[in-house]
Structure 1
Amino acid sequence: MIEILNSTELARARVAGSVVADILHTLKARAAVGTNLLDIDRWAGTMIADAGARSCYVDYAPSFGRGPFGHYICTAVNDAVLHGLPHDHELADGDLLTLDLALSKDGVAADSAISFIVGESRPPASVAMIDATERALAAGIAAAGPWARIGDISHAIGSVLGQAGYPINTEFGGHGIGSTMHQDPHVANTGRPGRGYALRPGLLLALEPWVMEDTAELVTDADGWTLRSATGCRTAHSEHTIAITDEGAEILTLPRPA
């Protein structure tokens, strides 16, 4: 299903996106050496409820997971990259943490992810990998606009990641979003320009470049959810929800000004 939102629904999407962004950046500020992933999950649940929103994850039970997910946020540490199931784990100095949050407010969903390093250490390879996903995300957004093609976005993202030297997995990528979290069209993190669905004003997309340092192969944890690099290498993931407008692409998951 591909949804095209009207102006009223788009206004709701802006609110949902701001809530996602505010929660993610509050959690980033709270995440410190010794913070438990279960505390992050609990904080996320409280903030979602306080915002009058609903988690897209608690009851989420797709075919590839061992559902329902049962938590409010995905927390992926170091070699984990996608669908990180919160568990009893305390963060250490230098850990690379990815927080991925999707929620629905007033019938419209928004989805975003950030990767960052906990504590004072700044491992250069991890810094470079996070930077590559952020630059790839910016390139994908720049390529999005009315009547551009999905392939244009995929090509822009893949060009940045490939030039940075990272293998690219195409099994999981970006996606349409609207009244539900995951919709068509799929947005692979590499592709050919000029191909695929033509973007229309009112379309929402969640773009999410993610990479693993030295492999494109994923393995699944015994929890049935958490996806890790097959080699144990570190990973990074950046994501925004955008709206296609008559003027271009509007980022919905930016924090509101203080």
Structure 2
Amino acid sequence: MFLGAILRKGWHKSSEGRACFLLNTFSENIYINKNLMNKLDSSDMDADFPPALLKKIMSHESCHRFSKVHLTSFTIYFLLLTILFSIALITLFKIYSRFLEVKAIIKELNYTELECTKQHSFLEYKVWSCCPKDWKPFSSHCYFTVSDSASWRESEEKCSSMGAHLMVIHSQEEQDFITKTLDPKAAYYIGLSDAGHRQWRWVDQTPYNESATFWHQGEPNFDHEQCVTVNHRKSDWGWNDVTCNGKQKSVCQVKKIYL
């Protein structure tokens, strides 16, 4: 047989040479044409191969397969570690970005503390809505009552120093919310004023909607009264036009901070 002839030819070499010759010869034949091994029956293998050499060849093949399995496992493990490390870096970057954002907002608005509540939000990853400490949250805004009396201009400057503006009211719900926290014996400036010829304007530049106003009956009534307060009259809260230099309390408003 072909395999037997090769073995007999190589067997006359030194013991080390015979092993190398046979290992190289049969390894090459195994990898070049594996069908050759499949065609040989067990009797051929027993007759032509010394047991030690056969064991060595099979061990070589097993080591090769074992190495391939280990290399594949290592590659998969390395890729998983890379993915996990990337996710961790992205998460840490987002947390740090939020921290810087909050720090910048607090510094800009001159607030040292925030009070936050968890919410169900579609605003990307932002799930907390926050107001400065002692401010009252409603909808997408926060409200703060200034108890010191001042003119309309001074009241607006006070709100501005806190990163806010005088309150803007666009719905009955908003008015009802804030008036429940106010003293019915006092009047409070809101962010509505007359630019001239009864052209009412909100301080945040949102449109003045006459269908969503809450004037007391008979108001506004005098052209020289160009600023507006909210006060309690009889059994209800409403708006009243007043002179802008009068000393009144006020309500400030700022947008919520989302984290």
Relative to the length of structure 1, the TM-score reads: 0.22
Relative to the length of structure 2, the TM-score reads: 0.21
Structure with greater Cα Rg: 2
